Amino acid sequence: MRFDVVIIGGGLAGTRAATELQKSGLKCILVAEGLSLNNCPKNEFKAAGGTVLQGDRVVSGVFEGNRLIRVFTEKLGNEPLEAGQFVLATGKYFSRGLVADMDKVYEPVFNLDIEYDSDRLTWFDPSFAAPQRFLEFGVKTSGGVALKGGVPIVNLFPAGEVLSGVSSAQGDATEQILNSAREAVRAIRRN
Amino acid sequence: MQENNISTGNFEQCQKCSLCETVCPVMANNPDYGGPKRSGPDGQRYRLKNGIFYDDSLKYCLNCKRCEVACPSGVRIADLIQQARIEFSQKSPKLRDVMLASTDQMGPLASAVAPIVNFSLGLAPVKGLLDFTIGLDHRRTLPKYSSETFVHWFNKNAASRQDSYKKHISYFHGCYANYNYPQLAKDFVAVMNAFGYGVHLIEGERCCGVAKIANGMIPAATRDAKANMSAFSKSLVKGRDIITVSTTCTMTLLEEYPELLKVDNSGIKEHISLVEPFLYKAIESGELKPVWKEGWKARAAYHCPCHQERLGLGIFTTELLKMIPGLELTELESNCCGIAGTYGFKKENFKVSQMIGKKLFDDIASAAPEFVACECETCKWQIEMSTGVPVKNPVSILAEALDLEKTSELNCR
């Protein structure tokens, strides 16, 4: 299936980006797992003519040079979703946008470059209420696009909590998440 | 060593987040039901130790599988619940349950005397009697039977010309299209023929068995499953993929056979496809070329059946319908209609069934479409009875919107 933009993840950032992109005339599909996609923003996106792939998960992607060209999902099997631009808004650990092993943190779909500290003992503060460093970890960007093996993927725009430095545990998180979504939208419109 | 150290249905992945409970339509309406988390992965821990922990309230589960769609950890919650019912329920199915579930035994009987059956099942005293004697709710509009089955019609009117096509498919019609609503199957044949496919019946096709699973008739369902798998193998030998129209039959063939009935469908599963993904992919790749009727116009609202969403295939239907130039399509918010096959026919479930569907009925009323587009036959009964708005299968919408003659000219060369 071919679209202008595939938005991966249906939380705050994903739905915001999807709705704005769809409204600017691009044909969008939102791949949203579980309840991370709430009904209200989902309906706004649908009303704008967008397509929602509910309860599914992107499992892998195919790159051509420094571009992502198609992704595969669990339920669609070998039927790919192809697009010119991609938004990655898969969140942090709970939604499996990031996975933490004993010795590393990684991004499980595309294996993008992650900002984190290799010394596990520095990840957390034993005091529960203290700011936790692991919540700051996330995908590295350069000029708004994701990096893979140090190379910028020119059409893959991370947004929301999957980003390094963006965390809902912080006071101004909602604004930060929405701003990152709007930045991705602006960049895609320019592209 | 622990004997049962196997995470059936992935239940050890449950992190107790309760997302499943927020989407469970039964939990919101029936306080007697413990909800998917408790009935599924939580209960499983106890049941593994001892079957006495089995709770009879698991029968309230609709098996709509919305919990599985919501689960962020891939736990097969509804499967765990159905599996537990199969393994531990001591109750044997009542006469009513057997009658409701045996769609392929009741079908031929009822079709043979369809006018009498349809007439008498519409009478208030008869419905009152059925309610009183066997517990079939009297407020429910009962499905009509067709006096001519689809198979009979097909053999008489369509079978002979099917070999003349270049491409061929096998058609799993299911019980509903055969006994209750042959028009759907006729529409399917018309559409597939127009696209240049010969349609063939599957010799020895049986009921998929879903209603039997839901009503605890596991040995009978397993017999159906095995018979279908061997019938399907024969169809595949001829190089014909199996195309289905019913969402729930398809989910049963693809997922419930191996998961619940332990009937292996590997090697066959890959060749079973619902008609909407099949047509969408072929049209998008340019292999099939539809010609739409000039000036055809309609306004529809799409209701995605729970099982279609579970299979992840609703997207093919919406994208296929969006290809029709004259169709103005709104998508309804994803909600269960409440009938869940035979569930809503039962006296003890009728009230909850209508409560579950209320949100959807209200949404349909405010969208005020000419008709609702929906792949599922039992959703159709429920929505038509509860809202008065007609429900059309996407295949029937295609049959209306396509210029069948011109499509045929373009695709049959």
**Burial (Cβ within 10 Å: 0-12, 13-18, ≥19) of residue B395:** buried
> Chain A contacts of B17, Cβ < 8 Å?
94
Q: Does A43 touch chain B (CB under 8 A)?
A: yes
- Judged against a pLDDT cut of 50, whether residue B293 lies above it is answered with yes
Q: What is the structure's pLDDT at B3?
A: 43
pLDDT at B319: 92
Instruction: Determine whether the interchain pair B312/A53 forms a contact, defined as Cβ–Cβ distance below 8 Å.
Output: yes
Strand order in the sheet with A5-8: A51-54, A28-32, A5-8, A85-88, A156-158
State whether residue B79 is helix, strand or coil: helix
Q: Quick check: A53 and B71 CB within 8 A?
A: no
Structure tokens at B265: 């469908």
pLDDT band per the 50, 70, 90 thresholds, residue A35: low
Helix (H, G, I), strand (E, B) or coil at B330: strand
- Report how far apart, in Å, the C-alpha atoms of A173 and of each of A9, A161, A165 are: 17, 9, 10
Instruction: Using a CB–CB cutoff of 8 Å, tell me whether A95 touches chain B.
Output: yes
pLDDT value at B324 more than 50: yes
pTM, rounded to two decimals: 0.88
Distances (CA, A) of B276 to B171, B183, B255: 13, 17, 18
**Percentage of chain B exceeding pLDDT 90:** 68
Instruction: Reduce the DSSP state of residue A9 to 3 states and report it.
Output: coil
User: Which residues are within 8 A (CB) of B270 and not within 5 positions of it... i.e. 6 or more apart?
Assistant: none
The Cα–Cα gap between A63 and B272 comes to 30
Nearest-CA distance A76 → chain B (Å):
7
Q: Which residues of B touch A33 (CB under 8 A)?
A: 72
List pLDDT tens digits, range B242-257. Answer: 999 999 999 999 999 9
Per-residue pLDDT at B4 exceeds 60: no
Q: Name the token pair of A101.
A: 């092993």
CB under 8 Å to B108, separation ≥6 — which residues? Answer: B149, B179
Q: What is the pLDDT of residues A146-156, one digit of tens each?
A: 999 999 999 99
Sheet architecture: strand order including A151-152: A141-142, A145-148, A151-152
Q: What's the rounded Cα separation, in Å, for the pair A54 and B310? A: 9
Strand partners, A67: A64
Q: What is the mean pLDDT of chain B?
A: 91
Between residues A142 and B104, the one the model is more confident about: A142
At B330, list the tokens.
């709104």
pLDDT digits (tens, 9 = 90+) for A129-182: 888 899 999 999 999 999 999 999 999 999 999 999 988 776 678 889 999 999
Half-sphere exposure of B383 (CA within 13 A, CB side): 33
Out of B17, B312, B318, whose CB is closest to A75? B312
Of B70, B319, B331, the CB nearest to A46: B331
pLDDT digits (tens, 9 = 90+) for B189-204: 999 999 999 999 999 9
- Section B358-362 average pLDDT: 95
Residues 6+ apart with CB under 8 A from B153: B182, B186
Kindly report the average pLDDT of chain A as a whole number.
Answer: 91
Query: Residue written as tokens 């350069």?
Result: A142
pLDDT band at B390 (very low <50, low <70, confident <90, very high): very high
At residue A169, the 3 state secondary structure works out as: coil
pLDDT at B143 over 60: yes
| Interface contact flag, B72 A76, Cβ < 8 Å | no
Say what the pLDDT of residue B230 is.
Answer: 95
Best B334, B335, B363 residue to mutate vs chain A (most A CBs within 10 Å): B334
Angle between helices B114-121 and B103-112 (to 10 degrees): 100
Out of A9-23, A34-48, B64-78, which region has the weakest mean confidence (pLDDT)? Answer: A34-48
Give the nearest partner residue to B19 out of A29, A35, A96, using CB atoms. Answer: A35
User: What does the alpha-carbon distance between residue A92 and residue A113 come to, in Å, rounded to a whole number?
Assistant: 14
A33 to B72: CB separation less than 8 angstroms, yes or no: yes
Least CA distance to B334: which residue of chain A?
Answer: A39
Length of chain A measured in residues? 191
Looking only at the bridges linking them, the beta strands covering A145-148 and A151-152 are antiparallel
Q: What is the mean pLDDT of residues B275-280?
A: 96
Q: SS3 for B302?
A: strand
Question: What's residue B98's pLDDT?
Answer: 83
pLDDT at A170: 67
Inter-chain touch B315–A53, beta carbons under 8 Å: yes
Q: Do B72 and A73 touch (CB under 8 A)?
A: no
CA B158 to chain centre: 25
- CA-nearest residue to A41 within chain B is B333
- Residues in chain B with CB shorter than 8 Å from the CB of A75 are 311-313
* CB-CB under 8 Å, A55 with B315: no
Q: What is the rounded distance in angstroms from the CA atom of residue A185 to the CA atom of residue A187? A: 5
Average pLDDT over residues B399-411: 95
Residue B51 has pLDDT above 80, yes or no: yes
Chain B residues in contact with A56 by the CB 8 A cut-off are: 312
Torsion, CA A130, CA A133, CA A136, CA A139, rounded to 10: -160
- Please indicate if any CB of chain B lies within 8 Å of the CB of A176: no
* Contacts A95 to B, Cβ<8 Å: 72
Q: What is the mean pLDDT of residues B294-301?
A: 96
Examine the pLDDT at B2 and tell me if it is beyond 60: no
Strands A81-82 and A67-73: antiparallel
A59 is written with which tokens?
Answer: 């499992």
Helices B182-194, B404-411: crossing angle, 10 deg rounding: 40
A99 contacts on B by Cβ (under 8 Å): none
For chain B positions 48-87, those within 8 Å of chain A (CB to CB) are: 68-72
Element (H, E) at B241: strand B241-244
CB pairs under 8 A between A and B: 52
- Give, as one character, the DSSP assignment of residue B169: E
Share above pLDDT 70 across residues of chain B, in percent, rounded to a whole number: 99
- CA dist list (Å): A85 to A70, A75, A165: 10, 21, 23
Are B13 and B75 within 8 A, CB to CB?
yes
- Whole-number Cα distances in Å, A15 to A11, A38, A105, A177, A180: 6, 9, 25, 11, 12
How much of chain A exceeds pLDDT 70, in percent?
A: 97
Query: Residues near B3 by Cβ (< 8 Å), separated by ≥ 6?
Result: none
- Find tokens 């605890």 and name the residue: B216
Residue A52 C-alpha, separation from nearest chain B C-alpha, in angstroms: 7
Of A46, A18, A13, residue with least CA distance to A180: A13
Q: What is the structure's pLDDT at A37?
A: 52
CB contact under 8 A, B334 and A34: no
What band does B72 get if pLDDT is binned at 50, 70 and 90? confident
Residue B362's pLDDT band (cuts 50, 70, 90): very high
Per-residue pLDDT averaged across B322-326, rounded? 94
pLDDT at B1 over 70: no
Q: How does residue B15 score in pLDDT terms, banded at 50, 70 and 90?
A: confident
Give A-chain residues touching B70 at CB under 8 angstroms: 34-35, 55
Work out the pLDDT band at B13, boundaries 50, 70, 90: confident
The answer on pLDDT for A116 being more than 90 is yes
Residue B262 is given by DSSP the state -
Q: Which of B69, B315, B316 to mutate to test the interface with A (most CBs of A within 10 A)?
A: B315
Does the pLDDT value for residue B6 go beyond 80?
no
Give the minimum alpha-carbon distance from A7 to chain B in angstroms, rounded to a whole number: 15
Which pair of structure tokens corresponds to residue B313? 């295939």
